[in-house]
Amino acid sequence: MVAVFLMISASLAMASTKDEVQKRGYLQCGVSTGLPGFSNPDEKGNWTGLDVDMCRAVAAAVLGDATKVKFVPLTAKERFTALQSGEIDMLSRNTTWTYTRDTSLGLNFAGTDYYDGQGFMVSKKLGVKSAKELNGAAVCIQAGTTTELNLADYFRQNKMEYQAVVFDTSDQTVKGFEAGRCDVLTSDQSQLYALRIKLANPDDAVVLPEVISKEPLGPVVRQGDDGWFNIVKWSLFAMINAEEMGVTSKNVDTMKNSSNPAVQRLLGTGGVKGSFLGLNDDWAYQIIKQVGNYGEMFDRNVGAGSPLKIARGLNALWSKGGIMYAPPIR
């Protein structure tokens, strides 16, 4: 099956994903079926979130217009097949970068746009203060995710038992938790905070302090199209570099006149050119002008400017106590 997918990938790559997107006039981007802060549609079908903005950044770089995106909602089980088969051009759906996924599915991870870790959410009325108190618990979990294996490892290592209650989507999972189908809901911590606000009474649930895994999340593309891989990868890197240089969506026009060579290279006014990516010289300017830098994207979707109010933590720039870091544009 994997070999078939690889053959499909290779044939699609020959057509050049960038050329296909530019010819079509819009980007097809795989997202979740609805996760506040990352990819979530409102009642009018308008998508918002960090993963959504990653799609828009690539559209801004390739098409010069961040609005030229068709969002394709996918469950965890559907996401890789959709990318392998060419249904979507890229996947931006809170997906963990792992060895198995990176080496056996014919896919490439184009960087990390959110450093996460798996945690647990419980009802306050249970009085549980630590995950070590969960022996014998029923655990709500979403199928087709890395959380299933992490959960099994954690309980085995701590000589505890559990009963898995499995759902296909995050919405079904949180409804199962709210209906009392399980004692605990486990997922990446960012998702727990996002799902918590979907509860009728968010204050009735608490996220436990333990983080039991590393979950680097980021955009994914098919293997075999290095040009497209570079575009998605450097779209993310441009946003991180922009935050580090203090270039924002509000000051980017003024910054085009900067005498700083690093800023000139970022904005295409000097030094390296967009032709290295097969794009216009202002590819990064378009991302920053229309979507913003990484800090702006984080704050409005999951950070202080959002209902989730998640601290930057590991996702702060390396120069501010975090591990968010991008190679230089030079």
Q: What is the pLDDT of residue 13?
A: 44
* 319 DSSP assignment: G
**For residues 298 and 315, is the Cβ–Cβ distance under 8 A?**
yes
Task: Give me the residues paired with residue 238 across strands.
Answer: none
**For residues 195 and 187, is the Cβ–Cβ distance under 8 A?**
yes
Residue with tokens 């199962």: 176
Q: What are phi and psi of 207, to 5 degrees?
A: -90, 125
Residue with tokens 């996460």: 116
* 27 DSSP assignment: E
Taking the CB of residue 19, how many other CB atoms lie within 10 A of it? Answer: 13
The model's pLDDT over 253-277, given as tens digits with 9 standing for 90+, comes to: 999 999 999 999 999 999 988 999 9
The answer to whether the Cα torsion of 167, 168, 173, 175 is positive or negative is negative
Q: What average pLDDT does range 240-246 have in this prediction?
A: 98
Whether residue 3 has pLDDT greater than 60 = no
Q: What average pLDDT does range 174-182 have in this prediction?
A: 94
Distance set, CA 4 to CA 8, 58, 98, 104 (Å):
6, 28, 21, 12
Q: Compute CA 282 distance to the chain's CA centroid, rounded to the nearest angstrom.
A: 24
Residue with tokens 């990653």: 54
The model's pLDDT over 107-147, given as tens digits with 9 standing for 90+, comes to: 999 999 999 999 999 999 999 999 999 999 999 998 888 89
- The token duo for 228 is 């497209």
Q: What is the pLDDT of residue 105?
A: 97
**For residues 242 and 295, is the Cβ–Cβ distance under 8 A?**
no
Q: What is the pLDDT of residue 14?
A: 53
- The token duo for 146 is 């890395």
What predicted TM-score, i.e. pTM, was given to this entire model?
A: 0.86
Q: What average pLDDT does range 209-219 have in this prediction?
A: 93
First to last CA, the chain: 41
